[in-house]
Chains A and B, each alone.
Chain A
């Protein structure tokens, strides 16, 4: 048996997707022009699938900070924090994130994936119990494979399903750790966090919330769903990423636990990989300042979300359950999703295709992510294009519903 034989099924499905045109998983951005536009296949394309929620990738102050840091400290750290030491800026960034959350401790990782992978797999071990939402991100699932703890899934966003699983553990020894996400990455829906926290308290379970998609977007000051739901003090661990709202790369975990720092010498994804380069640390520090100084970006983001979500809904598209910076558009199957995606790309609009097994319940989606920097005109154009394609492909049926589309822009 050849090394790749086990992937035969996937290879075949992937070939189907590729042979009929552009490959949705290997798009080349020939030139990125701004947070909302790039040149793809030689044409200027609107970007609505890049998780760039505040559009900070081209923020002048963040770019300047990064350039200055490269000149001052070079391009890379060439090793991990435990081997090569921390630069002052790593420590300052950690202090600033901790202060942002009002927590005592923060650890920064080279990606959010590594933060989840390392922290979750290290917090629980043999004899402990890890309870994860069924729709958890791949980084959380991968952490489950790296721990000796018993892992049980509960139904997505269903506190009573978590309650049943914690109840069944009864008096069995071992810590309970529950993993939730602020905003889920495929359909843009939020966890009923308050209800989940109540269940966790009832059974004395620890809670870790991944705010990857909610940092900046939710909460009075952008701290995410934990802040929005008023339960910051009840969340034992908050994980997040610099790769979305903050427009760079990297991950973090904050906590008030007095022993938190022991993770610096136990979490392998922190210890055995190079630390973030000075330019990234500098731009992230600046981006965090921008998030705090410019709350209007949050409002612009949600205004844009309303424009896109309500506009698509009015045209009859089946969407995720609620407004969110991610707008998931349901399509009947994998090939319909790929076909729709390709037609959109031909029309100059880039979104993501999300198909099984990467999606919950085997759904096929066009995954759109909204940016504060999108103009209402860009989004209205997108709705028009999608409506046209939807009708051509027979996905939108019947006469268009006559309804005024409110563009809150």
Chain B
């Protein structure tokens, strides 16, 4: 069995290369600065099918409460957002998020830390 504790230099190089390639891909797709508007827009796009009434989805919308989305669908939406904005949001962090604003802030924070 390989010793996984020690990083193998060869793999590391390949890994770095891929990061760079992907970054280029992201730059090509989206503007470098992801604006809050973009993130909110994307979240609202995913939540639209779960709109409960005529009330529009806004920053203060409480995702699990004001909409008809269940917890599994929330996690699936998060997975889509993760890939769209190239960040990973751990499940325990997702569990703490209530509103559209909080979700957007989390994504922007994680992007800033990359």
Q: Which of B43-100 contact A (CB under 8 A)?
A: 70-73, 75-76, 79, 82-83, 86-92
In the complex, whether B4 has a CB less than 8 A from a CB of chain A is: yes
Q: Which of A206-262 contact B (CB under 8 A)?
A: 206, 233, 236, 256-257
Q: Which of A86-144 contact B (CB under 8 A)?
A: 134, 144
**Which residues of B are found within 8 Å of A134, using beta-carbon distances?**
75-76, 79
Inter-chain contact A150/B15, CB cutoff 8 Å? no
In the complex, whether B32 has a CB less than 8 A from a CB of chain A is: no
Inter-chain contact B73/A362, CB cutoff 8 Å? yes
Q: Can you list, as one digit per residue, whether each of B7-20 has a CB less than 8 Å from chain A (1) or not (0)? A: 11001001100110
Q: How large is the interface on A (under 10, 10 to 19, 20 to 34, 35 or more residues)?
A: 20 to 34
Q: Can you list, as one digit per residue, whether each of A27-56 has a CB less than 8 Å from chain B (1) or not (0)? A: 000000000000000000000000000000
Number of interface residues of B (CB under 8 A): 28
Interface-forming stretch among A65-73, A159-167, A276-284?
A: A159-167
User: Please, which residue of chain B has its CB at the minimum distance from the CB of A359?
Assistant: B72
How many whole Å from A219's CB to the nearest CB in chain B?
Answer: 19
**Which residues of B are found within 8 Å of A233, using beta-carbon distances?**
1
**Which residues of B are found within 8 Å of A202, using beta-carbon distances?**
11, 14-15
Q: Can you list, as one digit per residue, whether each of A347-365 has a CB less than 8 Å from chain B (1) or not (0)? A: 0000000001100111000
In the complex, whether B22 has a CB less than 8 A from a CB of chain A is: yes
- In the complex where A168-B87, A356-B72 touch, is A150 in contact with B79 (Cβ < 8 A)? no
Inter-chain contact B71/A204, CB cutoff 8 Å? no
How many whole Å from B14's CB to the nearest CB in chain A?
Answer: 7
Inter-chain contact A206/B76, CB cutoff 8 Å? no
**Which residues of A are found within 8 Å of B91, using beta-carbon distances?**
144, 151-153
Inter-chain contact B92/A151, CB cutoff 8 Å? yes
Across the interface, B70 reaches (CB within 8 A) one of A155, A161, A362, namely A362
**Which residues of B are found within 8 Å of A155, using beta-carbon distances?**
79
User: Please, which residue of chain B has its CB at the minimum distance from the CB of A9?
Assistant: B70
**Which residues of B are found within 8 Å of A165, using beta-carbon distances?**
82, 88
Determine chain A's interface SS by DSSP, over half rule. Answer: mixed
- In the complex where A167-B15, A167-B22, A357-B72 touch, is A206 in contact with B4 (Cβ < 8 A)? yes
Q: Which of B19-34 contact A (CB under 8 A)?
A: 19, 22
Q: How many inter-chain contacts with C-beta < 8 Å in the A-B complex?
A: 66
**Which residues of A are found within 8 Å of B2, using beta-carbon distances?**
201
User: Please, which residue of chain B has its CB at the minimum distance from the CB of A255?
Assistant: B1
In the complex, whether A405 has a CB less than 8 A from a CB of chain B is: no
In the complex, whether A14 has a CB less than 8 A from a CB of chain B is: no
Inter-chain contact A205/B4, CB cutoff 8 Å? yes
- In the complex where A134-B76, A153-B75, A362-B72 touch, is A236 in contact with B1 (Cβ < 8 A)? yes
User: Please, which residue of chain A has its CB at the minimum distance from the CB of B8?
Assistant: A204
In the complex, whether A203 has a CB less than 8 A from a CB of chain B is: yes
**Which residues of B are found within 8 Å of A205, using beta-carbon distances?**
4
How many whole Å from A103's CB to the nearest CB in chain B?
Answer: 10
Inter-chain contact A150/B76, CB cutoff 8 Å? no
Inter-chain contact B79/A154, CB cutoff 8 Å? yes
Q: What CA separation (Å) do A203 and B12 show in the bound complex?
A: 8
Inter-chain contact A152/B75, CB cutoff 8 Å? no
User: Please, which residue of chain A has its CB at the minimum distance from the CB of B95?
Assistant: A145
Inter-chain contact B79/A204, CB cutoff 8 Å? no
**Which residues of A are found within 8 Å of B70, using beta-carbon distances?**
356-357, 362
**Which residues of A are found within 8 Å of B4, using beta-carbon distances?**
175, 204-206, 236
In the complex, whether A82 has a CB less than 8 A from a CB of chain B is: no
Q: What CA separation (Å) do A175 and B6 show in the bound complex?
A: 11
Across the interface, B79 reaches (CB within 8 A) one of A153, A168, A206, namely A153
In the complex, whether A170 has a CB less than 8 A from a CB of chain B is: yes
Q: What CA separation (Å) do A30 and B83 show in the bound complex?
A: 50
**Which residues of A are found within 8 Å of B11, using beta-carbon distances?**
201-204
Q: What CA separation (Å) do A175 and B2 show in the bound complex?
A: 14
How many whole Å from B69's CB to the nearest CB in chain A?
Answer: 10
11 contacts between A and B (CB under 8 A): A151-B91, A152-B88, A153-B91, A154-B79, A155-B79, A169-B88, A203-B11, A206-B4, A257-B1, A357-B70, A360-B72
Q: A150-B90, A170-B19 are known contacts; what are 19 more A-B pairs with Cβ within 8 Å?
A: A134-B75, A144-B91, A153-B79, A155-B79, A164-B22, A164-B82, A167-B15, A168-B87, A168-B88, A175-B4, A202-B11, A203-B15, A204-B7, A236-B1, A357-B71, A360-B72, A361-B76, A362-B70, A362-B73
- Counting from the closest, the 6 A-B pairs by CB-CB distance are A150-B90, A151-B91, A204-B4, A152-B88, A168-B88, A357-B72
Q: Which residues of B contact A (CB under 8 A)?
A: 1-2, 4, 7-8, 11, 14-15, 18-19, 22, 70-73, 75-76, 79, 82-83, 86-92, 114
Q: Which residues of A contact B (CB under 8 A)?
A: 134, 144, 150-155, 161, 164-165, 167-170, 175, 201-206, 233, 236, 256-257, 356-357, 360-362
